Structure 1
């Protein structure tokens, strides 16, 4: 076997060991001792400096960006903002869960007990209840799952509306508000819907919805008025160092007045 000159030269390099100061460092006087034919002497470290945990807490490089707690919105202040987000939202993602026993041939059996989220038209036509209004179609997946006993959740965000208002993308969409309303779907009778003028309220936001208004014989699909009865609300106001993140008090959610949410502004509003 032939060894290259490079490999032989590498064998004659001084012995390297890890030192406390960094990576490999030559032993003291290695060159002199090697030249004299003496084995290099190892210096024993008597104190485990490298293994000792630091007792000094290092400050976070972002500590100067974190707002004091008293400057962040409180839970109730965030609840009012959440009610404004709901009032100004026209669409949301409605999530339901397929039943355990899927009987329809149109639905794959392996989606049983699986959640599915689909965009829906919404409106706040029962102010100041905090329960959003939905025009549900009897053939829709969300309606069928709800009738089979599924609870529902409605996800809203301020992401698209921020771009619409400001005409530019946010520095970070993660720092904009969003929430999830958790509850169940409840049918609103035609008599109650007429008394509260829900059809007029809903079509003001969604003009095309006249094509499937409940009770109309010429409607493209059979529809019914429903409300999401809100039982819980989860809120992400933005980055946690300057916004409230967590569950709202349901009683506070339903107690917010129209005047309250009209008096606050969401990011990008003037």
Structure 2
């Protein structure tokens, strides 16, 4: 009976629309904790194509909440050779991450809310490389001037956070140079859906960090689809 009550309460929490900034902050943390990929926007800095410099470049990325702090920071795993990897190395202070409620695609109801009436979250801030010994020794002069390192983050802890959600990503480093990056949001914007039913607006950073999502109410598949037919 107790389990049934918990499930009913969870369903009611999902159905109830967020109306206040605090409710939106809690919903934002729920969305982050239940989403496995998002769109990273970075500023193009390219010596290969200078006329593209200054444009905003969007890329689909695996993400994982930083489970070492549980304060709403986000882990990314980027290749040095990628466009986004080069962009954040050149400008780490102007980055945003857009996270969307993707349950629309698994909703089989005939009269389901449209994709524009689903939640989306924008986290704007700076990213910093998560240091390991190789980064400390080999790249200290290159990175110290314009990147803040976070020595309290240890690479094994970060790997557990990320590879638990994305086990396939642990093999990428054998093909190219990949680094973990930590996104620390400075500004948060929430669009819960249509404004008549949902909160739309800025969420204070302190409120966002203080709200935690102990229960993941919106779940997405967290494993790769089997290749067997």
| TM-score computed with the length of structure 1 as normaliser | 0.62
Residue of structure 1 equivalent to 2:162: 202
1:256 and 2:199 aligned: no
Contact 1:95 1:118 in 2 (8 A): yes
Q: What is the SS of the residue equivalent to 1:234?
A: strand
Equivalent residue runs for 1:8-47 within 5 Å? none
User: Which residue of structure 2 aligns with residue 110 of structure 1?
Assistant: 51
- Residues 186, 266 of structure 1: CA spacing in aligned structure 2 closer, same or farther, 3 A cutoff? same
Offset at 1:201?
Answer: 2.3
Distance 1:156 1:73 in 2: 19
Look up the match of 1:243.
Answer: 198
The CA deviation string for residues 83-120 of structure 1, in whole angstroms up to 9 with x for no partner, is 11011111000000113xx422xxx3321111110100
Go from structure 1 to structure 2 and tell me whether the alpha carbon gap of 1:266 and 1:205 turns closer, same or farther (over 3 Å shift). Answer: closer
Scaled by the length of structure 2, what TM-score is found?
A: 0.72
1:94 equivalenced with 2:51 (yes/no): no
> Residues 178-257 of structure 1 correspond to what in structure 2 (within 5 A)?
178-190=120-132, 192-194=153-155, 197-213=157-173, 219-257=174-212
Distance 1:206 1:134, change over 3 A: same
1:184 and 1:229 in contact (8 A); partners too: yes
Aligned-residue Cα RMSD (Å) equals: 2.3
SS at match of 1:82: helix
How many residues align? The count is 182
**Deviations along 1:203-235, whole A, 9 cap, x unmatched?**
22212101124xxxxx11111111111001110
Structure 2 residue aligned with 1:145: 87
Distance across 1 between alignment mates of 2:18 and 2:80: 44
CA contact (8 A) 2:40 2:96 kept: yes
Consecutive unaligned residues in structure 2, runs of 5 or more? 1-16, 134-152, 220-229
Aligned 8 A contact 2:44 2:54 in 1:
yes
Deviation, 1:194, is 3.4
Flag the structure with more relative contact order, 1 or 2, with Cα contacts below 8 A and sequence separation at least 6: 2
- What is the DSSP-based 3-state SS (H/G/I as helix, E as strand, rest coil) of the residue aligned with 1:202? helix
1:129 to 62, 67, 71: 71
